[in-house]
Chain A
Amino acid sequence: MAVATERLQRQAASADTGRRADAFDLTLQIVAYVVLVFVAILMFVPFAFSVATSFKTNPETLRLTLGNMFWPETWTTAAYTTVREANIGRWFLNSVIVAAIWVTARCAFGALAGYAFARMRFPGRDIVFLIFLSTMMVPGIVTIVPKFIILKDLGLLDTYGALTIPFLTDAFGIFLMKQFFESIPNELEEAARIDGASRFRMFFQIVLPNAMPALSALAIFSFQGSWNAFMEPLFYISSEDYFTLPLGLAMFRQANYTEWPAVMAAAVITTVPIAIFYIIFQRRFVASQTSAGIKG
Chain B
Amino acid sequence: MATLAQAPGSGSAKPVKYKNPLAAEDAIAGWLFILPAILIIGTFIIFPIVLAFWVSLHQRDVVGSVDNWVGLANYQDILSDNADFWIAFRNTAWFSLGVVPTQTAVGLFLAVLANRKIRGKTFFRTAFYFPSISSSVVISMIFLWLYQNNGLINFIIRKVGLPTPKPPWLSNPKGVLEMLWTGIGWDSAPAWIAGPSVALLSIMMLNIWTTAGTMMVVFLAGLQDISGDVYEAASLDGATRRRQFFDITVPLLRPVILFVVTLGFIGTFQVFDQIYVMSAGGPAKTTTTLVFLIYTEGFKFGEGLGYASALAVVLFAIIFVLFLIQRRLVEKKD
Contacts and interface: CB of A to CB of B under 8 A. Distances in A.
Interface of A: 7, 10, 13-14, 24, 28-29, 31-33, 35-36, 39-40, 42-47, 49-50, 53, 62-64, 66, 69, 108-110, 112-113, 115-117, 119-125, 128, 131-132, 135, 137-150, 152, 165-171, 174, 182, 184-187, 189-190, 193, 198-200, 203, 224, 227-228, 230-231, 234-235, 245-247, 249-250, 253, 260, 263-264, 267, 270-271, 274-275, 278-279, 282, 285-286, 289-290, 293-294, 296
B137 A199 contact: no
A24 to B, nearest CB: 8
Given A32-B114, A140-B270, A166-B40, A119 B7 contact: yes
Nearest to A185: B9
A36 B146 contact: no
B114 A168 contact: no
A199 B118 contact: no
B259 interface: yes
A121 B21 CA distance: 12
A139 B137 contact: no
B125 interface: yes
Given A64-B152, A294-B214, A145 B298 contact: yes
A85 B224 CA distance: 50
16 contacts: A24-B241, A29-B118, A40-B123, A40-B127, A64-B151, A113-B36, A138-B316, A139-B269, A139-B270, A141-B294, A142-B316, A143-B45, A165-B44, A228-B137, A278-B133, A293-B259
Interface stretch (B169-177, B191-199, B272-280): B272-280
A112 B298 contact: no
Q: Main SS of chain B's interface residues?
A: helix
Nearest to B221: A290
Given A115-B33, A168-B36, 10 more contacts: A14-B235, A29-B116, A46-B143, A137-B323, A140-B270, A146-B47, A146-B309, A169-B36, A185-B10, A190-B4
Contacts of B95: none
A36 B110 contact: yes
B315 interface: yes
Contact of B34 (A7, A117, A246): A117
Q: Which 8 A-B pairs have the closest CB atoms?
A: A122-B30, A185-B9, A116-B33, A146-B48, A146-B51, A143-B48, A166-B44, A246-B137
Nearest to B34: A113
A13 B236 contact: yes
Interface string B262-286: 0100110110110011000000000
Contact of B305 (A36, A148, A165, A245): A148
A278 B213 CA distance: 15
A7 B235 CA distance: 13
A62 B146 CA distance: 12
Nearest to B38: A128
B33 A43 contact: no
Interface in B1-15: 1, 3-4, 7-11
A54 to B, nearest CB: 11
Contact of B113 (A36, A62, A249): A36
Interface residues of B, number: 107
Contacts of B48: 142-143, 146-147, 150
Given A122-B26, A141-B291, A199-B29, A128 B34 contact: yes
Contacts of A39: 110, 128
B22 interface: yes
B33 A113 contact: yes
Nearest to A277: B133
B10 to A, nearest CB: 6
B324 to A, nearest CB: 11
B125 A149 contact: no
B161 interface: no
Interface in B278-334: 291, 294-295, 298-299, 305, 308-309, 312-313, 315-316, 319, 323
A119 B20 CA distance: 12
A35 B312 CA distance: 41
B65 interface: no
Contacts of B37: 109-110, 112-113, 132, 169, 174
B226 interface: no
Nearest to A152: B64
Given A109-B40, A168-B40, A123 B27 contact: yes
Identify the interface centre among B28, B124, B138, B313: most chain A CB within 10 Å of its CB.
B138
Given A290-B218, A294-B214, A53 B135 contact: no
Given A128-B34, A250-B277, A290-B218, A150 B44 contact: yes
B49 A135 contact: yes
Nearest to A124: B31
Nearest to A228: B135
B209 A42 contact: yes
Most buried by B among A29, A108, A149, A264: A149
B25 interface: yes
Contacts of A132: 37, 41
Nearest to B263: A294
Interface in B105-147: 110, 113-114, 116-118, 122-139, 141-146
